Structure 1
């Protein structure tokens, strides 16, 4: 059975005036293979990156998530180069990037902002995030520096990543002193990893009006269903991902019923398994959760955008909710 293709509906992004698509494009894979973090991915050709970005924008994605630590700025530069080559306006393509706090103090935030702006070819930083909560400074000290950047017009909004509920509340409280609000928290979240629903992060996000940005929404590709259909593909995985517990035979067998149900729904919506999984991710909690699947091939980007062209019913979302609860870590 086929269903009507729906237009992409933008939604308010947390405590901001931004209207963003439910899915953004995660750009870690644009790191050009540089650095310990960027080395997780192959060195993508600039033409491929441009095609991925074009496909994303054409398909309705209007924001891109990158970071300083992704290839030591290479991801930011590659993204900006692609957007410039495509003549994409800042209304068509919003940018979220991140400051890396490890072994640094809050004073490094204003000291390095010009590097971020330069790497992004002067494009507006719509969302600037603290990449993780571990640094030589307090959350409040970091938020004060971020607030100053916003007041100076260097960035538009402030977000965090991998913060727990208590840290989210503290960040928002400090930003309020400057007339600002915490806009988002980027955390790992998928049908197979629902820890934020139990540790207070999701509850805090809803109470504060903070958007959740879900990274690894397809659980390293497990929720694409391809590894269940052909287990031999697991042997071909390269890099750290191959050690992920979800790829173990016992775990794959445990998650098979969920994948089988996703596959059935995929047939109903003329979609793929991964598209159904992404659709659940961005609708299971109203409009709180956004997701940033990556794309190292144009076909991945095409798959991503199609996930926004239909909507699971309330009953289907609830069914998947109950099934995946038994697998959540």
Structure 2
């Protein structure tokens, strides 16, 4: 059946401008990291993407190695784009990244011009696109000069492969240097994508939002639900089908002290009439300089629950103080 998006798709979503750019992003964006590989039913993927767009989620966030296997999320998204979203391409923001390992050898990782340009060309072929709206350098490279990496991003924009460029996992000092280099080249830094949640507040200590404001860039965060910890899933321990049960690096972050914090935050959310996930997303968006938060979704129900974060009450000072007692990270 031909997909026709909801006529009211822009009525309830909030959109926030990225820094001093002309680009507005939905306050909640959909990330395709874990749930759009070849191990997930295409019908489920399709339903999530369609429902997201029906609810005003115009930004789909990908990377070259999202899967599994690497490249699968972009391949599958390309199929959904061709089947459902091609007529609405100009209503979409499609982003991708390169910076982590993608193929063997010295040219398939980190931040060289060789890697970034080749990787984006591969991403465009997988998705069937002429360009992405935003292309990110996915992580700092300790060996490649920052000047080379930023020059590659500038080249990518000038060559028509991307409309905007961003960085991910950059701290405040590196953001400031990257933005200055890009400014001299004539291509502004659009946005930075760090990790951030109630249990991961390094960006506050780093002064990242202040730096991004200074350079005119936005901020879009990943893992705002702390790999599922800031949901109702862990109130009674670690479920067998949870991400913590599947991945040791997630499980290693969980102990009884953290679970006690989860339960306390859940109680605060309940008093606000929200799920814990909704409160955690609203909390991450509490600063108006925060452009967007990226969520994952394994079902339409989960997607809809998370988007409910935008209709919750404004935080009171007492609520924020109570959250701070348990939001430690």
Give TM-score scaled by structure 2 length. 0.85
Let me know the Cα RMSD of the aligned residues: 2.3
**What's 2:80 paired with?**
82
Q: 1:10 aligned to 2:10?
A: no
Displacement of 1:100: 2.1
Q: Which fold has the larger relative contact order, with Cα–Cα distance below 8 Å and residues 6 or more apart in sequence? A: 1
SS in 2 for 1:184: strand
Deviation at 1:93, TM superposition (A): 2.2
In the other structure, the counterpart of 1:37 is: none
Contact 1:109 1:145 in 2 (8 A): yes
Measured in 1, the distance between the counterparts of 2:254 and 2:28 equals 25
Q: Which SS does the other structure have where 1:44 is aligned?
A: coil
SS of the residue corresponding to residue 193 of structure 1 reads coil
In structure 2, do the counterparts of structure 1 residues 322 and 139 end up closer, same or farther at CA, with 3 Å as the change threshold?
farther
2:177 to 170, 174, 192: 170
Equivalent position of 1:303 in the other structure: 305
Structure 1 residues 247 and 120 mapped into 2: Cα distance closer, same or farther (>3 Å)?
same
Aligned to 1:20: 25
Match of 1:32 among 12, 33, 37: 37
Q: Where does structure 2 lack aligned partners over 5 or more consecutive residues?
A: 1-10, 101-108
> In the alignment, what sits opposite 1:124?
131
Answer yes or no: is 1:145 the counterpart of 2:152. Answer: yes
Equivalent residues of 2:168, 2:193 under 8 A apart: yes
Q: For 2:214 and 2:240, how far apart are their aligned partners in 1?
A: 40
Q: Which residue of 2 aligns with 1:262?
A: 269
* 8 Å Cα contact 1:222-1:246 kept in structure 2: no
Check conservation: 2:192, 2:217, Cα contact below 8 A. Answer: yes
**Equivalent residue number for residue 100 of structure 1:** 99
Change (3 A) 1:15 1:98: farther
The equivalent residue for 2:47 is 51
Corresponding residue SS for 1:250: helix
Q: Distance in 2 between matches of 1:93 and 1:177?
A: 29
Number of matched residues? 307
Contact 1:194 1:325 in 2 (8 A): no
CA contact (8 A) 1:234 1:247 kept: no
* 1:97 Cα deviation after fit: 0.6
| Structure-2 residue corresponding to 1:39 | none
Q: Is the 8 A contact 1:80 1:123 kept in 2?
A: no
Deviation sequence 1:11-43 (CA, Å, 0-9, x none): 21234322211010010024526xxxxxxxxx1
> In the alignment, is the contact (CA less than 8 A) between 2:264 and 2:326 conserved in 1?
no
Q: CA deviation at 1:307?
A: 2.2
How far 1:326 sits from its partner (Å)?
4.9
Q: Which residue of 2 aligns with 1:290?
A: 292
Q: In structure 1, how many angstroms separate the alpha carbons of the residues matched to 2:181 and 2:99?
A: 20
Q: TM-score with structure 1 length normalisation?
A: 0.85
1:233 aligns with 2:235: no
Contact 1:278-1:291 within 8 A present in 2 as well: yes
3-state secondary structure, aligned to 1:216: coil
Q: Could you tell me which residue of structure 2 aligns to residue 115 of structure 1? A: 122
Shift of 1:136: 3.6
